């Protein structure tokens, strides 16, 4: 079954490590990340999420970020991360293809 993770309101530097641990604990299973509470998304947490996306894609498992708060998707876009991602399952990332 699909496991769910609810993201904290503020995803700053201090949230990166716990988030990574939380995600890692669910490696290998499909995960839905709930970003509906997110107000602030920092660069380090972005990294964790992008890395998770990569990892899950490599494992061939689904990882979805939904639902998303407006703040989250805006900042996600600000970071230039939107091209390859939102809101679809991330396995079909074109960049991933280039990397493979």
Partner 1 sequence: MDAFEAIKATFFQECDELLAELESKLMLLEQGQTDLETINAVFRAVHSVKGGAGAFGLEALVRFAHVFETLMDELRAGRKPCDTVTIKTLLRASDVLADHIQAAQGLAPPVDEERSAGLVHELELLTHGGEAPPVVEEDEDDFGFVPMAFDVPLDEPLPSLGEPEAVAPEAQTGWRILFKPHGRMYGSANEAGLLLRELGRLGPITVSVDDSALPTLDVLVAEDGYLTWTIDLTAAIEEKVVREVFDFVEADCDLTISPLGGGAEPVLAFEDEPPAVLPASDELDIAALLAKAAGGAPAAEPAPVAVAPAPAPEPEPEPAPAAPAPAPAPAPVAAAPAPVAPIPPAQVAAPVAPAPVTIRVDLDRVDRLINVVGELVIQQAMLSQRVLESGLARSSGIALGLEDLELLTREIQDSVMAIRAQPVKSVFQRMPRLVREVADMVSKQVRLVTAGEDTEVDKTVVERLAEPITHMLRNAIDHGLETPDERVAAGKTAEGTVRLAALHRSGRIVIEISDDGRGINRERVKKIAIDKGLVAPDAALTDEQIDNLIFLPGFSTAAVVSDISGRGVGMDVVKRSIQALGGRISISSVPGKGSTFTLSLPLTLAVLDGMVVSAADQILIAPLPAIVESLTPQEGDLHYVGGVDPVIRFRDRFLPLIDVAMTMGFRDTPVVPSEGVAVVVETEGGQQAALLFDAIQGQRQVVIKSLETNYQQVEGIAAATILGDGRVALILDVDVLVTDMRRRSSRPDFKLAS
| Peptide bond before residue 67 is cis, with ω within 30 degrees of 0 | yes
Residues binding partner 1: number (CB under 8 A):
34
Question: Which of 29, 30, 54, 62 touches partner 1 (CB under 8 A)?
Answer: 54
In the complex, least distance from residue 14 CB atom to partner 1, rounded to whole angstroms: 5
DSSP 88: S
Across the chain, the runs of DSSP E, i.e. the strands, are 3-6, 10-11, 31-35, 40-41, 63-68
Q: Is 29 in the site for partner 1 (CB under 8 A)?
A: no
The residue within the footprint of partner 1, chosen from 7, 35, 41, 90 (CB under 8 A), is 41
Provide the residue count of the chain: 100
DSSP-based three-state secondary structure for 89: coil
The residues that touch partner 1, with contacts defined as CB under 8 A, are 12-14, 16-17, 19-20, 23-24, 27, 40-44, 46-48, 50-52, 54-55, 58, 75, 77-81, 83, 95, 98-99
């Amino acid at each position: 079954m699909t496991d769910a993770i609810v993201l904290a309101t503020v995803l700053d530097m201090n949230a990166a490590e716990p988030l990574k641990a939380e995600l890692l604990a669910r490696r290998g299973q499909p995960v839905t990340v709930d970003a509906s509470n997110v107000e602030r998304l920092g660069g380090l947490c972005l990294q964790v999420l992008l890395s998770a996306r990569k990892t899950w894609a490599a494992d061939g498992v689904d990882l979805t970020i939904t639902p998303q708060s407006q703040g989250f998707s805006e900042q996600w876009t600000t970071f230039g991360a939107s091209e390859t991602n939102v809101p679809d399952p991330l396995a079909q990332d074109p960049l991933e293809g280039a990397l493979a």
